[in-house]
Amino acid sequence: MKRNTGAGFTLVELIVVIAILGILAGIAIPVYSNYIKKANKAADEQLLAAVNTAAAAAVMDTMQTDMAKMSDNALSCSFVKDVPGITVSCGSNADVADVFTNKYFKGNENAAFKYFDSIVFRDGVFQGSDQDGSTASYTFHGVDITVSQESLEALQSSVFGTMTATELTGSVSQVTDIAAGLLATGHGSSYLANEGFQSFVSDTLGITDGVSSLTPEQQANALVLYAANQSAGRNGQSFVQAFSDGTAAQHILSNDPQYMAEAAAGYALLMGFAYSDAGENYMVGDKTVKEYFLDQSRSLQHASDIMTMFQTIDTATLADGATPIVEGQTGLMGFMTTSGAATLDGYLGALDMLNSGVATGNTDAINSVLAEGFASSDVIDLLNQVLSQNP
């Protein structure tokens, strides 16, 4: 039989060629993917500018208000990534959404964001989140809310991630009691009259009749939501620094409503210390820090009470046989040095989720939180969704 002596490839040569192609693909595919991402980001930034222009016109048209002066999360932008259809809303004000879609953004029905995963309203404009797919969605009162994966992981990996949903919501309810106490004092009228708080209630929460139309309990819950709104964009380290240098204490004791965020963060910091392992290793009198924190939390009424508790816990002594967190520092200061920023990042992750829920303009959800507070079955169900996920 005559052998085929024509030119061809041996098996070894084919393997070498495939290997070379694999190497080239390994280099080219990431480069091409990066090029696509950059192109999509540039296109999304142009689209976002168009959304801001149309939204500003719609707000001025329907509310006679400068969008740049509106509070954070007063507006929300809804979309599904890679799917045509972008809407802008303002709480329960249906006119803004209608005018945006049918007048100022008309002709852009097929526009779609391909890079941004979420859009938030902050500092008077819509801003895109480029977490590149790192978001998580949860259902709250029948509406999907989106939270960045960064915020989710910060919450789950902090001491708060080890607590039950009931413990978390119960602690937040204590902050509501503090807000109620503040409103009941002589400073209450200044809180209710604060322009930022009033704008938040009308623009973000959609309470068109204003703060005065709310019951005292609803006003207290709204003030906690306002504190969460004020915390947007901050990180745990900024709060730790404010408590370390005394700035936060001055702000809290001033009873100025714009510093409600510091009061809530201070409570979260103490709660984080109490529920950490160190909370069992330091003593206030004959009680552990955790026992003292739980006892005192039941009677908190004013922002100044947080600072009193802060100062007392800072004098806690190390239990016999326990190891200090940081040699030469008090337990609280050692906790702030080593874990304070991460703890408050977890707390801010929870607030990010809360802000996202409010920003959806879901009237049922907002009314539920205002009427029932933060220990309702709806909020507990939401937290259980989050805490049941692996970080």
Report pLDDT digits (tens) over 172-199.
666 677 777 777 766 677 778 888 888 8
Identify the CA nearest to 191 among candidates 199, 182, 200: 182
Q: Is residue 29 part of a domain?
A: no
319 and 80 in contact (C-beta within 8 Å)? no
> Highest mean pLDDT range out of 149-163, 199-213, 229-243?
199-213
Judge if 341 and 299 occupy the same domain.
yes
Judge if 193 and 290 occupy the same domain.
yes
Q: Is residue 18 part of a domain?
A: no
Last residue of a domain, one of 104, 133, 162: 133
The stretch 247-260 carries a mean pLDDT of 78
Judge if 304 and 330 occupy the same domain.
yes
Judge if 176 and 106 occupy the same domain.
no
Q: Is residue 32 part of a domain?
A: no
56 vs 15, which has greater pLDDT? Answer: 56
Q: Is residue 16 part of a domain?
A: no
Of the pLDDT bands very low, low, confident and very high (cuts 50, 70, 90), residue 105 is: very high
- Given the DSSP bridges, would you call strands 83-89 and 76-80 parallel, antiparallel or unpaired? antiparallel
Does the pTM exceed 0.75?
no
Judge if 175 and 308 occupy the same domain.
yes
Last residue of a domain, one of 101, 133, 165: 133
The pLDDT tens digits for 332-388 are 999 998 988 888 888 887 777 777 666 656 677 777 778 877 767 777 777 776 666
Judge if 319 and 183 occupy the same domain.
yes
Query: Taking CA 288 as the corner, what is the angle to CA 283 and CA 293, rounded to the nearest 5 degrees?
Result: 110
143 and 362 in contact (C-beta within 8 Å)? yes
The boundaries of the domain holding residue 300 are 150-387
Last residue of a domain, one of 98, 133, 168: 133
222 and 201 in contact (C-beta within 8 Å)? yes
Mean pLDDT of the chain: 79
Q: Give, in order, the Cα–Cα distances in Å from 296 to each of 186, 267, 293.
A: 23, 11, 5
Q: Is residue 124 part of a domain?
A: yes
Half-sphere exposure of 138 (CA within 13 A, CB side): 24
282-284: strand order across its sheet: 287-288, 282-284, 317-318
- Please give the tally of structural domains in the chain: 2
Judge if 220 and 179 occupy the same domain.
yes
Judge if 294 and 352 occupy the same domain.
yes
Q: Is residue 4 part of a domain?
A: no
Judge if 193 and 117 occupy the same domain.
no
Judge if 70 and 156 occupy the same domain.
no
The H or E element containing residue 361 is: none
Q: What is the 3-state secondary structure (H, E, C) of 250-316?
A: HHHHCCCHHHHHHHHHHHHHHHHHHHCHHHHCEEECCEEHHHHHHHHHCCCCCHHHHHHHHHHHCCC
pLDDT at 313 over 90: yes
The stretch 192-209 carries a mean pLDDT of 85
How much is the pLDDT for 220?
85
* Cβ contacts of 211 within 8 Å, gap of 6 or more: 192, 197, 198, 201, 219, 222
Q: Is residue 7 part of a domain?
A: no
pLDDT at 391 over 50: no
Q: Is residue 176 part of a domain?
A: yes
Judge if 171 and 304 occupy the same domain.
yes
Bridge partners of residue 135, in order along the sequence: 148
Picking from 134-143, 262-271, 274-283, 286-295, which range would have the lowest pLDDT averaged per residue? Answer: 134-143
The stretch 64-92 carries a mean pLDDT of 83
Judge if 77 and 196 occupy the same domain.
no
